[in-house]
Amino acid sequence: MTSNRKAQKAARVRRLAKKKMAKKRATKPTKAEKYAAKNREALEKAARSGKPAKPAAPAKAGAPAAKAAAPKAATRAAKGAAPQAPAPAAPKPRSSRSITPAKRPDDAPRPVPVTTGPLIGAHVSAAGGTPETPIRAADIGARCFQLFTKQGNRWADREVTADEAAAFRAALAEFPSAAVVAHDSYLINLASPDEELRDRSIASFVGEMERAEALGLLGVVSHPGNYMDDRASGLARNADGIAEALEYVQGNAKLFLETTAGSGTALGATFEEIAAIIARLPASVQGRVGVCLDTCHAYSAGYDLVNDYDGVWARFDDVIGRERLGVLHLNDSKTPFGSRKDRHEQIGDGTLGDAPFRRIMTDPRLALVPKILETPKGDDLVTFDRRALAKLRAWAGEG
């Protein structure tokens, strides 16, 4: 046991040394990393959510250009292809990306923060820096929000400076939020069998936790990784990577493991897998780990929130335990029940429809859980979110 711990520590030191090396290296993801990110449907999500996040670099000169002209087919290929397959052409950026305003217009009226009512909010853009986020949350009527503390699909790591932390806290004092969480980078795959990618992922995840700590966030929402080879080994690698990072970054920021839709080799689509990851963590870090349930992912993964709302939560309570539920992602779905796809839709406009969200908004067991939209934003970044939050608020009886 002791020698085992020593070996673990040696491995950690080696990995964290690599973190520094990784910083010096080119920050562009390698082909394999880009592939891994695509396999997790990450870039698409980033583009859809209107973040400054940049889709994978377009194929370099000499790469087959024809593929780039067929983004849908390329995206499908990325999801269906075997892990060993060469990276297909990058998906075409969504049009909303190019018109994402970098900053809130200076003449926009100063928002009045919402400080009562249901604990609802949305993922907001951190364009211009993290101190810009509290006002954006206030602007849409959010009481809680989620942000990226760095670009979600680039390895480039960064540290939160004392000035940034102070500015963020000042902004938050001006526009208070009941809960703020970060979402980790989509490139991170703690479950990868590729040692280099996993080392890089651990280092990057350490950075996520450090930034959350520096900003005083509630925690970091993180998707379990892709196992690539076999599921059990992937779960073990995922849990051990989390343990390593949380042991390294001591503090108050939590990790919220997000339930996934289960596309490809994604782990975490079942409550059992989430529970298995948590169960493997050492007791010393287990208390800092919670769960984020995403309604779109759960429905796609086969949890029928529409026809068996109470049954799904009974299952959650049995397998994971309600006390672990720290965050809810409220997303409707563009795809049918059990599709194993991750395509967010406006609340009420998708295959889930109004009913499960009405239930969630009036469920006293969920009253204290921050509920965060990750639905498509539209061009101005505020209209759709304002509308959705108003709808949820009305359903909660606050409207």
Residues that bind Zn ion (CB under 5 A): 294, 329, 342, 374
SS (H, E, C) 270-323: CHHHHHHHHHHCCHHHHCCEEEEEEHHHHHHCCCCCCCCHHHHHHHHHHHCCHH
**At a CB cut-off of 8 Å and minimum separation 6, what does 265 contact?**
39, 83, 226, 227, 228, 231, 234
What stretches of 306-384 adopt beta strand conformation (E)?
325-330, 332-333, 344-345, 371-373
**Residue 279: Cβ within 10 Å count:** 10
Q: Rounded to the nearest whole angstrom, what is the least distance from the CB of residue 327 to Zn ion in the complex?
A: 9
Q: Rounded to the nearest whole angstrom, what is the least distance from the CB of residue 333 to Zn ion in the complex?
A: 9
Residue with Cβ nearer Zn ion (111 or 376): 376
Q: Rounded to the nearest whole angstrom, what is the least distance from the CB of residue 331 to Zn ion in the complex?
A: 6
Which residue in the block uniquely carries the two structure tokens 């902004």?
Answer: 171
Residue with Cβ nearer Zn ion (200 or 329): 329
Q: Rounded to the nearest whole angstrom, what is the least distance from the CB of residue 371 to Zn ion in the complex?
A: 11
CA distance 66 to 71: 10
Residue with Cβ nearer Zn ion (22 or 221): 221
Residue with Cβ nearer Zn ion (239 or 298): 298
Residue with Cβ nearer Zn ion (244 or 294): 294
CA distance 234 to 193: 7
Residue with Cβ nearer Zn ion (46 or 235): 46
**Residue 348: Cβ within 10 Å count:** 16
Q: Look at the alpha carbons of 264, 266, 269, 270 in this order and tell me if their dihedral is positive or negative.
A: positive
CA distance 149 to 315: 33
Q: Rounded to the nearest whole angstrom, what is the least distance from the CB of residue 208 to Zn ion in the complex?
A: 15
Residue with Cβ nearer Zn ion (118 or 262): 262
Relative to beta strand 254-258, strand 289-294 is: parallel
Residue type at 153?
N
Q: Rounded to the nearest whole angstrom, what is the least distance from the CB of residue 120 to Zn ion in the complex?
A: 14
Q: Rounded to the nearest whole angstrom, what is the least distance from the CB of residue 21 to Zn ion in the complex?
A: 31
